[in-house]
Amino acid sequence: MNSSQEEKQAVPSEKMSYWNEQRKGTNFMNSTSLPDNYEAAKEQGIEFVRLAPDKWSKDRDFLFNDKPDANINADFLIGSSDKYEGIVEEDFARLKADLDAAEAKGMKVIITVLSLPGDRWRQFNGAKNDDRIWNDTEYHKQAAQFWKDLAQRLKNHPAVIGYNLINEPHPETGTGFHDFWTQDYSEWYTKVEHTAADLNTLYDTITKEIRTVDQTTPIILDSGLYATPWAFTYLKPVDDPNVLYAFHMYEPYEMTSQNKKKGFTYSYPGSVKVGDDETEKEFNRQTLKQFVEPVAKWASDHNIPANRIIASEFGTNRMVQGADRYMADLISIFNEYGWHWAFYAFREDTWDGMDYELGSEKPNWKYWDAIEKGEQPARGTADNPIWNEIKESLTK
């Protein structure tokens, strides 16, 4: 780097200053670009959107093909997760138009991706984890080149206030670690440090490449094992003033997802069976705070201020009994720590379970008919405790 680049890196950037005060946002993970949603989000008091544009490729050929042709631009923006050879121009044009719409409505956007080279999103990969990136550093290099190319194009876009390098990384799954309720992260990490399965190595490689073309846009790093708070144990802070650290919170997943396949129907607060051994555990506000405590401890240990931490996804199925209290308790915990937060999700178009404006009602045929036509269905009920909790928290 030249001296001017080093000088820029020495202090937080203008875009980083956006994060100096607590921000409250949401996630857009829809199956297509829905620019009108930016205006609707703004009206509800939402300050920023975390956008995953590669979900827009859900209708591509590879969904129905176990071995997609590498020449088919199956994976949004990157072309093929088998080998990155440059940004797909048609895809970038769609993304650019969506970001322009966000800027026109005064909305800020974090860009994240569901797939990287060697790491196709599970839901676009026959419901199987793609762990190639955790076994071969060649994919680290390709991922870094992709982000460098994208940063070169987006660094001056006024709506973009963060690059979230990969959504819910999970190097653990490629190396035999699966159950965070019972296993020791530190012990596991000592076995993979400095290998392809080292998340810190991947982040270091990508961050350095981005900074060769963009020294100022904030970079956001998820913790491991699907961004669980517990994986902060082995996350290493990056020597860069324009970096934030993120986690997701859907625990206990058996409750928030209403895992009826196992015959469970839970309510909050209440007792939930968790982990591979189905240990019964009581969940309430105190338990939730204990679950995110590793984030607070990590930040304290490394002198990371609260305004550099984002709870970038959290939520529960809206039909869980006590869902409103669950969301209220989590938000109160995040506020207590002073962390940024973004609930999942706003006007989801593929899964109604977290379309909170519906309250606890099951959607009727008119809802799905509108979704299929690309229109906004009617939302909102007279008595909607869960959305009332979220909206009140947004506007406080």
Q: Calculate helix-pair angle for 89-104, 36-43, nearest 10 degrees.
A: 30
Task: Return the pLDDT at 259.
Answer: 54
Burial (CB count within 10 angstroms: exposed 0-12, middle 13-18, buried 19+), residue 324: buried
Assign a CATH topology to domain 3-395.
Answer: TIM Barrel (3.20.20)
Q: What is the pLDDT of residues 81-105, one digit of tens each?
A: 999 999 999 999 999 999 999 999 9
Say if CB 268 and CB 322 are below 8 A apart. yes
Say what the alpha-carbon torsion angle 224, 230, 234, 240 is, to the nearest 10 degrees.
70
Which residues are 75's β-sheet partners? 79
Q: How far is CA 296 from CA 148, 230, 299, 316, 331, in A?
A: 31, 11, 5, 22, 15
Whether 237 shows a pLDDT value over 70: the answer reads yes
State the DSSP code for 78. T
HSE toward the beta carbon, residue 185, CA cutoff 13 A = 18
Q: What is the pLDDT of residues 147-204, one digit of tens each?
A: 999 999 999 999 999 999 999 999 998 888 877 787 788 889 999 999 999 999 999 9
3-state class (DSSP) for residue 3? helix
Model confidence pTM above 0.85:
yes
Q: What is the pLDDT of residues 10-55, one digit of tens each?
A: 577 899 999 999 999 999 999 999 999 999 999 999 999 999 999 9
